[in-house]
Chains A and B, each alone.
Chain A
Amino acid sequence: MIITQPKDFDVVRSFLEGVDAQHVFLIGCGQCATAAGTGGEPEVAAAAQRLSVAGYDVVGTAISEVTCHSGGTKLLLRKHKDELARVDAVIVFSCGAGVQTVADALACPVFPALNSSFLGNVIRHGEFEERCQTCGDCVLGQTAGICPVTQCPKGLLNGPCGGMWDGMCEVIPDRRCTHVRIIEKLEEQHRLRTSVLAPKNYGVKIKPGHISVRKVRAQHHVAPTSEGEAHHE
């Protein structure tokens, strides 16, 4: 999931001050930001309270089921269109993708309340760790299922670097060196490579990423496998 962190309240306030906003609407996200404890119902309610105390008119709040889903979010915004017609600005408590979904759908200024930190694994409740950068050119098949692009602070494919000391990372000293872990695990699996891993192909990662399942299927002449999938297209 996308792990988010709250922006400083003063930063959010400065956004509002920048457009002389008095009447605001807050939108949370029922997915990642709820799980991360940054944009679910309690956090949005707390922000509404804080903004009210600071003198703003919080016209309403809503939680989008999945803010980054354009269709669902547009439906939610339609439900609140009367309130939204009266606001100077909207504040979104989701990752940047969700903020943009809302901004696409509204004419008024839309501001982020959170920073998108990383694509994270849930280690345990409330504890997340970045494991994948969505680099588009996965090397896990050669690195014992441990991603050096993400887990090595330098993102080196071949390591360890000169900063490794006693098997520990130089940048995060209380953490085992990712390359030491990769080498040890490959050795355990009797597949330690001697060759150098080739430089990554960043050419596959053209921004902004865009995939249309419908177009891919049309190219490969594949029929939709179920009604559900066809519907989601």
Chain B
Amino acid sequence: MSSLRDKLNAGHFVITGEVAPPRGADCTKMLADVKAYAPVADAVNITDNQGATLHLSSLAASRMAQEVGVEAIFQQTCRDRNRLALQSDLLAAATYGLHNFLAVTGDNPHFGDHPQAKAVFDLDSTQLIEVASSLNHGIDMNGGKLNGATDFFIGAAAFPEAEPWEIQKRRIAQKIEAGAVFFQTQACMDVELFARRVEEIQALGAQVIAGVILLKSEKVISFINNKLAGMMIPEHVSSRIARAADPFEESVALAVEQSRILGEVADGIHMMPLGDIATGVRILHEAKIR
């Protein structure tokens, strides 16, 4: 059973984190990261070849996270597997006791470490949500009856600050119609705009776990703007960090402010401390969320 679902259904404010599986077979650091989240997080997302770069599979890593006592959110992208493999891995996830599922499109291989790879995209993220929803009813995507249904708490990604917002909002509504129950968002930048849009998503009937990022430094901001898909740090945020006497502490202060405000509006916070989990935990403490 998904305790993340139970907590959200009971109206508890949740915290989720994010851990990348290792680029190799040594899981020591990944498990240390997972454990570092344990005191504050209700669940931890395990990414799937993020940035189109080779990593240990999300399926294996999600299972390992749960074995050390942290509830996983198993992520799948549509980039690397066709509909047979996606469904097969979802069934495997269910048998491993993974009950939280986040469907995302996936970055284009062009941006990753295997730019020669064939991008699959047999399904898109909305179709994948429909598939997971169907598996929950014991039916495969062709309507075939399965021997045993899954029980996924199905989530999707949302980008509340992306324009044109009407198109984003329509996409979110479409994902809800497909079966998404909760959304995890890209990192918040302009907290007032973000908060308004969180409320609009909630009004569509889904719960929102709002992304908060620790920007750390000008260098990190420039990396995000140039290398990371689907994220753009606005000038007023980057200049605030850049002009500060201590950019790192300023980025902590910004994340604390955002967490406090979003704590009043959203259903949870998805903490993205870019590897610095201890500071992520500190932000949640200072925002008096944990």
B96 at the binding interface (Cβ < 8 Å)? no
Q: Say whether A161 contacts B127, CB under 8 Å.
A: no
**Which residue in A153, A154, A166, A198 is a CB contact (below 8 Å) of B127?**
A198
CB-based contact A165/B232 at 8 Å: yes
- Mind listing 15 A-B residue pairs with CB under 8 Å? A154-B105, A154-B121, A156-B105, A157-B124, A159-B171, A161-B125, A162-B105, A162-B159, A163-B229, A163-B230, A167-B164, A196-B127, A196-B130, A196-B177, A199-B127
A140: Cβ under 8 A from any B Cβ: no
Question: A119 at interface (Cβ–Cβ under 8 A)?
Answer: no
CB-defined interface of A8-28 with B at 8 Å, one 1/0 digit per residue?
000000000000000000000
Q: Using Cβ atoms and an 8 Å threshold, which residues of chain A touch B229?
A: 162-163, 170
Cβ of A213 within 8 Å of any chain B Cβ, yes or no, is no
Choose one: B107, B125, B167; the contact of A180 (CB below 8 Å). B167
A residues whose Cβ falls under 8 Å from a Cβ of B: 153-167, 170-171, 179-180, 183, 192, 194-200, 202
Q: For A194, what are the chain B residues with a Cβ–Cβ distance below 8 Å? A: 170, 173-174, 177
Which of B78, B127, B162 lies in contact with A164, CB distance below 8 A?
Answer: B162
Among B103-156, those with CB < 8 Å from A are 104-108, 110-111, 119, 121-127, 130, 141
Contact of A156 with B177 in the complex, beta carbons under 8 Å: no
Output the nearest chain B residue to A162 by Cβ-Cβ distance: B230
A196 lies within 8 A of B126 (CB): yes
B contact residues vs A (CB 8 Å cutoff):
78-79, 83, 104-108, 110-111, 119, 121-127, 130, 141, 157, 159, 162-164, 167-168, 170-171, 173-174, 177-178, 186, 229-230, 232
Given contacts A154-B121, A156-B121, 12 further A-B contacts (CB under 8 A): A154-B106, A154-B108, A154-B119, A157-B124, A158-B171, A161-B124, A163-B107, A164-B230, A165-B232, A170-B229, A183-B167, A195-B174
Q: A162-B157, A196-B174, A199-B83 are in contact. Are A167 and B163 (CB under 8 A)?
A: yes
CB-based nearest A residue for B159: A162
* Contacts A194-B177, A195-B177, A199-B83 given; does A161 touch B105 at CB 8 Å: yes
Q: A162-B186, A180-B167, A195-B177 are in contact. Are A153 and B122 (CB under 8 A)?
A: no
Is the contact region of chain A dominated by helix, strand, or loop, or is it mixed?
loop
Find out whether the CB atom of B122 lies under 8 angstroms from the CB atom of A162.
Answer: no
Roughly how many angstroms separate A160 CA and B170 CA in the complex, as a whole number? Answer: 10
Minimum CB–CB distance for A165 against chain B, Å: 6
Q: A157-B127, A171-B108 are in contact. Are A199 and B177 (CB under 8 A)?
A: no
Q: A160-B167, A160-B171, A170-B229 are in contact. Are A199 and B107 (CB under 8 A)?
A: no
Known pairs A167-B163, A170-B229, A196-B130; A202 contacts B124 (CB<8 A): no
A206 to chain B, nearest CB (A): 16
Q: Please give the distance in Å from A187's CB to the nearest CB on chain B.
A: 9
Closest CB in chain B relative to A179 CB, distance in Å: 8
Name B108's closest neighbour in chain A (CB-CB): A171
On whether the beta carbons of A199 and B141 are closer than 8 Å, the reply is yes
A198 CB contacts on chain B under 8 angstroms: 127
- Chain B residues lying within 8 Å of A156, measured Cβ to Cβ, are 78, 105, 121, 124
Residue of B nearest to A169 (CB): B108
A155 CB contact (under 8 Å) in B121, B127, B164, B177: B121
Q: Which residue of A lies closest to B105 (CB)?
A: A161
Expressed in whole angstroms, the Cα–Cα distance for A163 and B122 within the complex equals 18
Cβ–Cβ < 8 Å partners of A159 in chain B: 124, 171
Nearest CB in chain B to that of A154: its residue:
B121
Residues of B within 8 A of A158 (CB): 124-127, 171, 174
